[in-house]
Amino acid sequence: MATEKTATRALTGNRQLQKSFQPLVMGWDPLSSTYTIDSTVSSTWKTAGLNGHYQETYFDTAGYTRDMLTLQPLTAYVQEAGRYQMPFPGNQRLIVVDLITTERIPSVATFITNLINNNEMVGFPNTTVDFTQVQFGRMREFLPVTQGTTTQDVIAPTSDQQFGSLEATTNDKLWIYKIVINIGLPSDDFAMVRFPSSRMVLQATIMKEDELPFLMRQKRSYELSNY
């Protein structure tokens, strides 16, 4: 028999959650053979390993959980505005990954290594992350293109893949990632990467479930977080 639904402090109904990311601007350092982030415009970006850069944040959903409310994602998408540029690209390409997950990625450097070397993606086979733990994912690959001359400056997406469960959740946080991975070497010491500002948008319904389904969701989240 269903339990009585009590009043809550948080409002139920449709919600739109969003988080914005700074643009990524970085220049090639020939001494270290790595890209260095321009901290004046990209101060929130972090470095992961030799060829990865990322931003990490989260949607704070603890207020819903404290009121025993469930967040049911409806749709998620990425917004970007600006130019994708890579002067003097040489044999380089970029891989860009956007994620919303119920668990924090413990090591982005390890995530990048597994993706490049083993073609592993969280939520798919050969990883310890369950399908339901990845609310939304998008992976794109960018290659240099020639625009009218032999000078290559613009990079364009050649692959765009989306995945994720949009599973109802009672987690206190939904972790958000934008990860940019550079593969290859530029053809000049003055090489740069410019990636535009972006935004992650999650549209969801906040709902009051019966007590048993809510507690079972919390139990399952705890089990998955301890894999």
Kind and range of the H or E run holding 64: helix 62-66
CA distance linking residue 47 with residue 183, whole number of Å = 14
DSSP 7: P
Q: What's residue 146's pLDDT?
A: 67
CA distance linking residue 46 with residue 23, whole number of Å = 12
Kind and range of the H or E run holding 115: helix 108-118
Mean pLDDT, all residues of the chain: 89
Handedness of CA 108, 179, 97, 130 (dihedral sign): positive
Query: Which whole number is the average pLDDT over 166-173?
Result: 91
Tokens of 11: 């409002």
Residue at token pair 């967040």: 71
Say whether pLDDT at 3 is over 50.
no
Q: For residue 137, which of 116, 165, 113, 172 has the smallest C-alpha distance? A: 165
State what percent of residues in the chain have pLDDT above 70.
90
Query: Are the C-beta atoms of 107 and 200 separated by less than 8 Å?
Result: no
Q: What is the pLDDT of residues 30-78, one digit of tens each?
A: 998 899 999 999 999 999 998 999 999 999 999 998 888 999 999 999 9
Q: Which strands, in side-by-side order, build the sheet including 70-81?
A: 13-21, 197-207, 70-81
Classify residue 38 by burial, with Cβ atoms within 10 Å: 0-12, 13-18, 19+.
Answer: middle
Q: What's residue 221's pLDDT?
A: 72
- E runs forming strands in the chain: 13-21, 24-29, 34-37, 46-48, 52-60, 70-81, 93-101, 134-146, 152-163, 173-183, 192-195, 197-207
Task: Identify the band that residue 1 occupies on the pLDDT scale cut at 50, 70 and 90.
Answer: very low
